[in-house]
Amino acid sequence: MSGAAPPVPPLDDRDGVIWLDGAFVPWREARLHVLSHGLHYGGSVFEGERVYDGRVFALSEHSARLVASARHMGYALPWTAAELDAVTREVVAAADLTDGYVRPVAWRGGDTLRLVAPDSRVHLAVAAWPWPRIFTEGPRGIRLRTSRWRRPAPDTAPIRAKAAALYAIGALAGQEAEEAGFDDALLLDHRGRLAEATGANLFLVIDGELHTPPPECVLDGITRRTVIGLAGGLGLPVVERHLAPAELDRATEVFLTGTAYEVQPVTGVDGRSFPLGEVGAALTEAYARAVRAGGADRSGYPAPAGAGSDTG
């Protein structure tokens, strides 16, 4: 660790306010009870959003996904997506944030520890704070290590939910990758096909086309959708299909997409090396422009109200 790096205060010991269940509370007092259902059984759902120039990129899509994630986990949020949008804007304004990160999180409370708890109260908090890019400020590639942990099948867990339970897998995979000296883990799906990193979707450039796994066993990333749209604008064909790990041998570039990662080039997967290529650079630039130029608050994520639909 560099001696020059300023100490990062722990997340639970900062000044400011957090929105909790309808009101702002002092940052350090935004607490939940130790007997909360969401803490014990992994059913909490959350979002990760980025603020650019004071506005949350794709806010309504994130709010809609949060509502849908709760529904996939068997409960209803006491707030609509539109109300979440409004609350999030208030939180960003209260934090006086120009560029940063927003974390809404919802969970069943401490009414009961019965596993089946349909009447448990649902809580919601929204916090926002300044946050830089997670790996690097410059166009540096990262190195991934294929994990022994896999993304579960869609009939094993509600894969469309951005739910805490699923992040237990990513946390294990990421820790093992870092302990082995890599930046992040690459997870395969339950059938051994390429899936995603711990917090980002995967793209391979093969013969000048973008190839990415369909959102069956991976999170249906909002950045992924954005990048697919941007690729269209750049005349880059996009193929959504299942990919075998051996297809990495044919890839001329590899990159990840995610709210936190943005467009993140990958320069290594296990023993393979990839260059920082033109396609990744063009999409990095296009994405950086999109998030700051009117992309905030655009809608497009499927509305959770879609009765019985599984597209959330």
Instruction: Just list the catalytic residues.
Output: 162
Is the Cβ of residue 121 or residue 190 nearer to ligand PLP in the bound state? Answer: 190
Is the Cβ of residue 33 or residue 191 nearer to ligand PLP in the bound state? Answer: 191
Q: Nearest approach, Cβ of 112 to ligand PLP (angstroms)? A: 29
Q: Nearest approach, Cβ of 179 to ligand PLP (angstroms)? A: 20
Is the Cβ of residue 16 or residue 48 nearer to ligand PLP in the bound state? Answer: 48
Q: Nearest approach, Cβ of 258 to ligand PLP (angstroms)? A: 4
Is the Cβ of residue 141 or residue 221 nearer to ligand PLP in the bound state? Answer: 221
Pairing status of strand 45-46 against strand 253-258: unpaired
By residue count, the chain amounts to 312
Q: Nearest approach, Cβ of 131 to ligand PLP (angstroms)? A: 13
Q: Give the gyration radius of the chain's Cα atoms.
A: 19
Contacts with ligand PLP by CB under 6 A lie at 48, 170, 196, 199-201, 218-219, 221-224, 257-259
Is the Cβ of residue 110 or residue 174 nearer to ligand PLP in the bound state? Answer: 174
Q: Nearest approach, Cβ of 218 to ligand PLP (angstroms)? A: 6
- Across 147-164, b (16+ Cβ under 10 Å) vs e yields bebbbbeeeebbbbbbbb
What are the strands, taking DSSP E only, across the chain?
17-20, 23-26, 45-46, 49-52, 55-56, 100-108, 122-129, 142-151, 184-189, 194-197, 201-206, 209-212, 238-240, 253-258, 262-269, 272-273
Rounded CA-CA distance 193/246 in Å is: 9
Q: Nearest approach, Cβ of 103 to ligand PLP (angstroms)? A: 11
* Residue 20, helix vs strand vs coil: strand
Which residue type sits at 199?
G
Cβ(166)–Cβ(179) under 8 Å? no
> And the tokens for 304?
């959770």
Pairing status of strand 184-189 against strand 201-206: unpaired
Is the Cβ of residue 196 or residue 253 nearer to ligand PLP in the bound state? Answer: 196
Q: Nearest approach, Cβ of 213 to ligand PLP (angstroms)? A: 11
Q: Could you tell me which of 192, 190, 186 has the C-alpha nearest to residue 173?
A: 186
Is the Cβ of residue 56 or residue 222 nearer to ligand PLP in the bound state? Answer: 222
> And the tokens for 26?
């002092």
DSSP labels, 175-218? HHHHHTT-SEEEEEETTS-EEEESSSEEEEEETTEEEE--TTSS
Cβ(67)–Cβ(301) under 8 Å? no
